[in-house]
Amino acid sequence: MGLKFILFSRVTSNALSISLPPLIPSIPGVTVPLLPNAAPPLPILQVPTPPLESPPFEGSNIKPKKIGYFWTAAGDNQHKDFLATYSLDDDTFGTLLWITDVPSSGNSPHHLGPSLDGKTLIGGGLLSLLKTQDTAFYFDTSDPYHPTFKKSNRALLSSIVDEIRAKPDGGFFITYMGSAVGTSPGRLVETDANFNVIHEWPEDVSGLLNILGEQFSPHGLTIDFERDVILTSDFVVPISILKPTLGIAKANTLRLWDLPTREIISTITIPNGGGIQDVKFIPGNPESAALATAVHLGQVWVIYPFRKDGNGKQGVAEPLYDLGPKARDTVAIYSDITQDGKYAYFTLTTANHIAALDISDLDNVKRLDNPDEDQDTIGPHYIKVTPDQKHIVVTDYFVQTGEIGVINTPADFQALYIDILPDGGLSFNRTIDFPREFANRGGAKPHSAVVFDLTDPNDPKYY
């Protein structure tokens, strides 16, 4: 069934039920394009036709200690998008436990995150706005082996869900990379403990002037709840990856926020960064230093949020490590760090490579992988160190917009389970083959993962 397209106007009367009116509102200074030389075309919307029901599946009644949740698109973009739940235990690795559908398709499932109590997962839809659908999908994991769909919603001023971080008192912070129609500015969205959108930051005048004055497309998100600071990293203007395009608009900036007030303290620039996709605080670092990935440069930078530059502005960026020529312009560089703050891992998507660094001494970073090694991965992107710190989970899929866009990265749609060696290096071990597992819906595209470790019932871990 071929997809039909309509220009930004209105959707057909048989649209799926959504939590907001189907028309994207016109908001001066927010939904209008902000490029200085020419306005990009408004997005081409897809008719929100009902999704195809998922084919039957056989789950399992086993109860593994380690569980992997994979937020996944149907390969044909017509069947319902879904959460796939798998065993990650050694003796039953790759056993499908359950499939949880959402009531829509074509969302391009993106990042996934857990609540602190492990009872809720939230998955974002990268391209949900093209069918005027909800952009955030919530799953009840009270029964971790059989998640159920809870609800969906979306923000009013922003779209394109990216990174997710749980709040200690319930709810989430979420980066929405674009405005309601995918232009700049996006927002930092906050939900309450019932997962209702309550704020789209910034809301103060100076913060709004900041994000209206230059590209604001927050992707990376990291929070130090003890020292009351947030870092977001600006990546690309989402609409600029869709046809017709004037060229992908990449950012060079991060924003330092005051957590109690949710106000932007300063803008931190990585010169010629060409998309600052990810930022993460280093666990245990005495200065709350964070690592940021500059995609064009193929470099890792360190951000010191409490240092001041020569002009007295808070927040300093310094180059940390150049990942080499294969890392430059690799479309995406995503990261994770071990809980002891010693090792950091980076997926170089179009280089088909996962890099490993020893960052225990930021003045003497050591590379642990061979940059010239051919690794058994195609299109690696999302990466998570498992809660037991013994493995990393990587999904081999970034973004494929098809004929409507210019980002179509090669991928083999595998979920990789990679061992962390005693010296921090990596040993490729096992995979879950999503195209084979879900051939009855045109394959499947797993973008992100969450891991539950229930080994110690008195101390379960959700990450």
Residue 45 located in a structural domain = no
Give 159-208 as a DSSP string. EEEEEEEE-TTSSEEEEEEEETTS-S--EEEEE-TT--EEEEE--SHHHH
E strand or H helix that includes residue 151: strand 148-153
Residue 36 located in a structural domain = no
pLDDT of 450 reads 98
SS (H, E, C) 386-423: CCCCCEEEEECCCCECHHHECCECCCCCEEEEEEECCC
Q: Which neighbouring-strand residues pair with 279?
A: 292
* Residue 252: CATH number of its domain: 2.130.10.10
Indicate the residue type of 218.
P
Residue 23 located in a structural domain = no
- Whole-model pTM? 0.91
pLDDT of 117 reads 97
Residue 74 located in a structural domain = yes
Residue 20 located in a structural domain = no
E strand or H helix that includes residue 350: none
Residue 276 located in a structural domain = yes
Is the separation of the CB atoms in 257 and 221 below 8 Å? no
Domain coverage including residue 447: 66-462
Tens of pLDDT, residue by residue, the chain (463 residues):
333 333 333 333 333 334 544 334 444 444 443 344 444 455 556 767 899 999 999 999 999 999 999 999 999 999 999 999 999 999 999 999 999 999 999 999 999 999 999 999 999 999 998 888 999 999 999 999 999 999 999 999 999 999 999 999 999 999 999 999 899 999 999 999 999 999 999 998 888 888 888 899 999 999 999 999 999 999 999 999 998 888 999 999 999 999 999 999 999 999 999 999 999 999 999 999 999 999 999 999 999 999 999 999 999 999 999 999 999 999 999 999 999 999 999 999 999 999 999 999 999 999 999 999 999 999 999 999 999 999 999 999 999 999 989 999 999 999 999 999 999 999 999 999 999 999 999 999 999 999 999 999 999 999 9
363/237 Cα distance (integer angstroms):
34
Query: Domains in the chain: how many in total?
Result: 1
Residue 27 located in a structural domain = no
pLDDT of 214 reads 86
Residue 363 located in a structural domain = yes
